[in-house]
Structure 1
Amino acid sequence: MTTPSAGAAGSFVLPDATAYASAVEQARAAAAAYYEGGTSVLDDDAYDRLVRAITAYEGEHPDEVLADSPSGKVAGGAVVGDVPHTVPMLSLDNVFSDEEFTTWAASLERRIGRAVASWNVQPKLDGLAIAARYEDGRLARLVTRGDGTAGEDVSHAIGTIEGLPTALSRPVTLEVRGEVLMTHAQFEYANTVRTEHGGAPFANPRNAAAGTLRAKDRAYTVPMTFFCYGLLPLPGTDQDLADEFEAAAHGAVMDRAAGLGINTPASTAVPGTVVASVDEVHARVKEIAALRAELPFGIDGIVVKADLAADQQQAGSGSRAPRWAVAFKLPAVEKITKLLAVEWNVGRTGIVAPRAVLQPVDIDGSTVTFATLHNPADITRRDLRLGDHVMVYKAGDIIPRIEAPVAHLRTGEETAIVFPAECPQCGSGIDTSEQRWRCERGRNCHLVAALAYAAGRDQLDIEGLGHSRVVQLVDAGLVESLPDLFDRLTRDQLLGLERMGETSTDNLLAALDRARRQPLSRVLCALGVRGTGRSMSRRIARHFATMDAIRAADAEAMQQVEGIGVEKAPVIVAELAELAGQIDRLAAAGLSMTEPGATPPAAPAEDADTPEDAAATGPLAGMKVVVTGAMTGPLESLSRNQMNELVERAGGKSSGSVSKNTSLVVAGEGAGAKRAKAEALGVRLMTPDEFAELVSDLLG
């Protein structure tokens, strides 16, 4: 059989009629599997490329178009229900670039004989389209898209979908159209409940929503969420209301829906927006794309519509899609690939962490070979097996993770993942009492990694104590813990090591002496307390001000630090108790146990309502600051950690992500997505030189 071959940019090329027929059958089977059961042998990106290849072949061979071709059918048409739609429920054509959208917009304006008056831009939600019919304000029936002409009755799901009320705020008769989806949180909950009841986990939120919407007589229920994208009159709709729908702009219709108590994108960080030009459409598309990674639900593109009813009516519709709307597709953030192996790595604190080795796959412009597997319990819950086809998800700066196995693609040759019986680093026993397994030797298991980390630039910054030198010290038996560097190591011992002359020895001893003057936050970070890192160590140090105050804190007091919750607090408290001996020795060796500029928290008055940051002073007092890109000028020599320390000494809070709560973004050379997101949200931007001037008093 002739099959599709890969062309430019990973697209499919169909060389002949046999390949074309095979591609049509493959696309038809994939659509049927997805729309009937929420599963598919292809991920979205592969399906889109296959359909584009089919469409391209049909453009060159119009006499060979097959009746089953997806190019002429409504997406979702695999399930032909028995409930007729009052108005065809069409899908959308796609564009994949600014240039393609500009071409499409020009063709629409030629069709209607004038410029489009305004455009409506809104997120393309990654869910399942349904029609909800209300009679006198009560939700009476739910119908899937089906083949666009008739759909499947899924009214059994009434009452399980958030954002789709069973009663409207007014007793009107109308049809509400929109998308049913699962938020990321709902998806995690759905898979937890599903696996507890013996079912295979869903591959992704979209498949979970599709399968859940159709499921009847389950022993459990899981929530879903609805977002409206349109209102239509029904027989029995008040004539004035029907006339309003006929004449209103799309934005006004969405406002009407929200007023009736129906969920719309207006309630999210990516509300529908009306713009006046193609250039403004491009800008808004980029704004929504920049926010994609932080949304609590999935989007796979942006829908762009002619906003005015007159423009829509003039343009009309084809057999499968309206001519006045298009989907601007975004790069895929999830793909199906194969799980080849699982590696077990031991971190510097002794955590034994699994990592998935994948068949390389391109996701959102980068090749993914490894993915996160949180812990053994997570592997068991997801029922992962070696050789599984798995759905891998990646968005923005998030480390790729496996959502779930694609269970229906199993061949029976998959094998169980073997968990280690002993520490893969040192051969000691493993403490399996918590979800995250840990070598019984703890941080001593990975002594070299722990010491090299402590000596790093963003911790104690001990110049000359790199990985190879640490190995040398450990192998010689001179250093067995961090305090040994300061209270045990002697000049004569160093001179006795290979490649350690007097100059190298004196330089290292001087670097160790400078490390004694590092602030508490860096000492705390160097200790490698589980549940903390550079940012969290700074927060703890600035909150408590002294090591004595930190060590005196119980779990409840530790929870007062931003970012420390009920689960992390007792772990940190226990770790500090475990490290008590090392902390005492470091203090005795002269290392700093205070944080400059910080004061211990005072006991709050019973009637105090002052915000936590009220006492913050400095040019950035009360501001949340994100630093991105390469710094230049006076800041060029500063590491990212040093920049964050500078922010906090100036009274601000450093953050790694841009949100609507961000006060300032310092954007250096090469700043990309974070700068774009700041621009989209209207967050204040500064160059490195401008920021250096603002905090000049703190630059020594």
Structure 2
Amino acid sequence: MTAHEDPDEDIPTGLDAAVTVKVAGVDQQRRHAELVKEIDDAQEAYYGRDKPFITDALYDELMLELQKLEAEYPSLRTPDSPTQRVGAPQEETDFSPLTHPSQMLSLDDVFSIDELKEWMTRTEAALGHTPEWLCEVKIDGLAIDLQYVNGRLQTAATRGDGRVGENITPNARTIKAIPQRLRPDPAQDFLALFEARGEVFVPLKEFAAYNDKLADQGKPQFANPRNAAAGSLRQKDPRVTAQRPLSSICHGLGVADGLAVTRQSDAYAVMKAWGLPISPYNKVVHSLDEVLDFITYYGQHRHDLIHQIDGIVVKVDSFAEQQQLGVTSRAPRWAIAFKYPPEEVNTRLLDIRVKVGRTGRVTPYGVMEPVQVAGSVVSSATLHNAYEVERKGVLIGDMVVLRKAGDVIPEIVGPVVEMRTGAERPFVMPTHCPSCGTKLASEKESDKDIRCPNSKSCPAQLRERLFSLAARSAFDIEALGYQGADAILRAGVLDNEAQLFNLTPEQLVTVPFYTRGATPRELKEPALVPPPGIRDGRVLSANGRRLLENLRTARHQPLWRVLVALSIRHVGPTAARALAARFGSMDAIRAAGVEELADTDGVGLIIAEAVRDWFTVDWHLEILNAWAADGVSMADEKSARPAQTLRGLTVVVTGSLQDFTRDSAKAAITDRGGKAAGSVSRHTDYVVVGENAGSKQARAEQLGVPMLDEAQFRELLEHGPTPASETPASETPAPETPAPETSAPTTRASGAPGTPPETRDRRS
């Protein structure tokens, strides 16, 4: 081995040792040893047992004292010192080849449940029985091989080709989660050589914070956490690696002769006791159904974890059965990786165009080669504004990273700079509206967005407003989609939305989108055709008649929906409900001053000013007057408004309820004066727990927030807080969830789905 790989290289011997004792003094050496032990114990409690026993402030004080002591007496500083894991290692990483003691195998992949079932069936047939399955989340990071000799970290290497990797030992030593020395376990002596396999990654919370820091410094951001981990681990200077928020988790083992366990899950328990970081998401199950439950659960909660995942690994737990099944030249026959649909993919950015929204905002968006991501085909994605295009550094023609997490709108993360050919070109923001030709401008000097000021007549804005007012959160006009709105405007039937509720069958029959060709019999016998009859050989289609019926019923929507339909800037369903609940009528909202509007719970000054400004525009009032004349309700009947039983209360709903959808549960809360929040905090009054509840339930348990089942939720809606509904969370029976059992408790930095991200601090 090279000199810098020797863990005892800087330990003084002979005359040097005597000089050290004389210079440092016995008291200093003793204090140094005490500090090292206390910090090591604190890190072990934090990482290994998830039971920290000192505060972060005290931890920092101990580390600072150790740094000062070693600065004064450099001979006390050894490679094992906690300061060397976060400070400035002197040797550079050389990336020399390093042969693994045993081959690092890859995993075969399956991409469907049917493929997974086939693999499990073959495995059971080969064994002659159903084994116990070890399910693990597949960390989206960089594979690493750690060699411990007599309990001390000797080398660390990348996977490479599976047999030979790159020596990254100095960099690995800077990662706090990787112990330099294993802790003794009475049940298992250290092995002469123990080979731990794992993954290096950047935790999601730290990734976001680090990217923000890079942006503030004007430096390029990382496209995703995996790229950040790979780039950080391959720095020549470990001092650079030490500044990156890297962590690690072990998920396997290589050479482990003499390890006194028979199952991989038991090996994990030993490794955890030694101080190695083990995933809190592992679970041993006994059937296909339990495996599928594990896959489904983490498919739904993948964004609640401390790190990115791209699938689930299913292993045969027994070492004897693993040996019986054997391996191929590249992968074990006893393990498989089930891959979720990717949430990040690469595709070509063909063009950047702009879209004019309902409030006039001009938004750039990317047009890409169609690609499947997160289960759907995506061909366009937002770029927000010209500043964002410049910040991300994307050029037309780039190969880009595209992300679509869950139901989030597709987003272009950034370019793959290494794949540029030189033919790429920059995007130039237009100076005039592409729809109406009006010169674009910012509403305020400080705004990054530019807008088309021709809000009344711009065809693009009118089309977007017409489409938006038909949304489920507004008038809920099912038959008026984007194509329908465009077709009505192109036919010249409407000049603006004021005329919508005055739309007649005679007008609609001139819009091809809402008509069909008359049948020969209808042409022969026109009396068979309902009014408005036949026009140019066409009659109203079923969708056309549905639109007219939708418009009749939409007139009776509650006031808050009418407010949403007006396209007032910043006013969405939450603010609209609050305004409608407080003022009860459009006239009362119009007459209210800014302070009175802003004083409404859930509104605030910005929304209040936007509402006030909207009512000062003449053509806006023309819309209101026209709708009122056509029968649109402009006030809520007091008798129809629910009692304000939840006024001043914040309620969170998690999981699936039997008789409420997510939207209807939220509406039930806000209609009664409450606030329907999306996350649990110390300001939450109640958490309603349905089936398959996840991290919000765990967060409520941690904070002691009262939890209600569906029946108690109904009682709360009806009568408001009562002693029965104020049962402390610890006494409220919560429904079972499919959350996998783990050996780690759901506490700070355990990494379980319920762990609040704000408690995973700088040592995670």
TM-score relative to the length of structure 1 = 0.61
CA distance in 1, matches of 2:499, 2:485: 14
The residue aligned with 2:227 is 207
Q: Secondary structure at the match of 2:252?
A: strand
| Percent of matched pairs sharing the same residue | 33
Matched to 2:347, the amino acid is T
Q: Residues 337 and 389 of structure 1 are in contact (CA less than 8 Å); yes or no, is this contact kept in structure 2?
A: yes
Q: Residues 232 and 240 of structure 2 are in contact (CA less than 8 Å); yes or no, is this contact kept in structure 1?
A: no
Could you tell me how far 1:627 is from its partner in structure 2? Answer: 8.3
CA displacement, residues 41-69 of structure 1 (integer Å, 9 cap, x when unaligned) = xxxxxxxxxxxxxxxxxxxxxxxxxxxxx
User: Aligned match of 2:642 in 575, 597, 607?
Assistant: 597
Could you tell me how far 1:365 is from its partner in structure 2? Answer: 4.6
1:99/1:264 Cα in 2 relative to 1: closer, same or farther (>3 Å)? Answer: same
Matched to 1:142, the amino acid is A
Could you tell me how far 1:417 is from its partner in structure 2? Answer: 0.8
The residue aligned with 2:198 is 178
User: Aligned match of 1:452 in 463, 466, 475?
Assistant: 466
Tell which structure's C-alpha radius of gyration is larger: 2
User: Aligned match of 1:534 in 558, 573, 584?
Assistant: 573
Alignment of 1:414-493 (within 5 A): 414-426=424-436, 427-431=438-442, 433=445, 436-439=448-451, 441=453, 443-444=455-456, 448-449=462-463, 452=466, 455-456=469-470, 458-460=473-475, 467=485
Alignment of 1:187-226 (within 5 A): 187-191=207-211, 193=213, 201-217=221-237, 221-226=243-248
CA distance in 1, matches of 2:269, 2:582: 45
Could you tell me how far 1:105 is from its partner in structure 2? Answer: 3.6
Could you tell me how far 1:357 is from its partner in structure 2? Answer: 0.6
User: Aligned match of 1:247 in 251, 261, 275?
Assistant: 261
Could you tell me how far 1:311 is from its partner in structure 2? Answer: 2.0
Matched to 2:635, the amino acid is S
CA displacement, residues 265-296 of structure 1 (integer Å, 9 cap, x when unaligned) = 32xxxx22211134433443344334446656
Alignment of 1:361-400 (within 5 A): 361-400=371-410
Is residue 575 from structure 1 mapped to residue 597 from structure 2 by the alignment?
A: no
User: Aligned match of 1:321 in 322, 331, 334?
Assistant: 331
CA displacement, residues 473-494 of structure 1 (integer Å, 9 cap, x when unaligned) = 99998x7xx8x779xx9x9xx9
The residue aligned with 2:342 is 332
Q: Secondary structure at the match of 1:439?
A: coil
Q: Secondary structure at the match of 2:129?
A: coil
Q: Secondary structure at the match of 2:198?
A: strand
Is residue 117 from structure 1 mapped to residue 131 from structure 2 by the alignment?
A: yes
CA distance in 1, matches of 2:149, 2:169: 14
Could you tell me how far 1:325 is from its partner in structure 2? Answer: 1.6
CA distance in 2, matches of 1:354, 1:654: 32
CA distance in 2, matches of 1:526, 1:498: 23
CA distance in 1, matches of 2:553, 2:671: 20
Q: Residues 383 and 405 of structure 1 are in contact (CA less than 8 Å); yes or no, is this contact kept in structure 2?
A: yes
1:469/1:153 Cα in 2 relative to 1: closer, same or farther (>3 Å)? Answer: closer
Alignment of 1:538-557 (within 5 A): 538=577, 547=589, 551-552=594-595
The residue aligned with 1:157 is 171
Q: Residues 517 and 591 of structure 1 are in contact (CA less than 8 Å); yes or no, is this contact kept in structure 2?
A: no
1:344/1:99 Cα in 2 relative to 1: closer, same or farther (>3 Å)? Answer: closer
Could you tell me how far 1:254 is from its partner in structure 2? Answer: 3.1
The residue aligned with 1:523 is 562
Count of aligned residue pairs for this structure pair: 541
Alignment of 1:617-632 (within 5 A): 623-624=653-654
User: Aligned match of 1:358 in 368, 382, 387?
Assistant: 368
- Mind listing any 5+ residue stretches in structure 1 that lack a counterpart? 1-78, 235-241, 605-610, 614-621, 666-673
Matched to 1:363, the amino acid is V
Q: Secondary structure at the match of 2:616?
A: helix
The residue aligned with 2:738 is none
Matched to 2:562, the amino acid is V
The residue aligned with 2:100 is 85
Q: Residues 345 and 354 of structure 1 are in contact (CA less than 8 Å); yes or no, is this contact kept in structure 2?
A: yes
CA displacement, residues 341-382 of structure 1 (integer Å, 9 cap, x when unaligned) = 112111111221111111122335533211222322221122
CA distance in 2, matches of 1:601, 1:650: 5
Could you tell me how far 1:405 is from its partner in structure 2? Answer: 1.3
Question: RMSD of the TM alignment (CA)?
Answer: 5.5
Could you tell me how far 1:552 is from its partner in structure 2? Answer: 3.2
Matched to 2:198, the amino acid is G
Q: Secondary structure at the match of 1:420?
A: coil
The residue aligned with 1:4 is none
Could you tell me how far 1:387 is from its partner in structure 2? Answer: 0.8
Q: Residues 203 and 390 of structure 1 are in contact (CA less than 8 Å); yes or no, is this contact kept in structure 2?
A: no
Could you tell me how far 1:644 is from its partner in structure 2? Answer: 5.9
Q: Secondary structure at the match of 1:211?
A: helix
Could you tell me how far 1:388 is from its partner in structure 2? Answer: 0.9
Is residue 101 from structure 1 mapped to residue 104 from structure 2 by the alignment?
A: no
Q: Residues 448 and 470 of structure 1 are in contact (CA less than 8 Å); yes or no, is this contact kept in structure 2?
A: no
Q: Residues 525 and 534 of structure 1 are in contact (CA less than 8 Å); yes or no, is this contact kept in structure 2?
A: yes
CA distance in 1, matches of 2:149, 2:596: 59
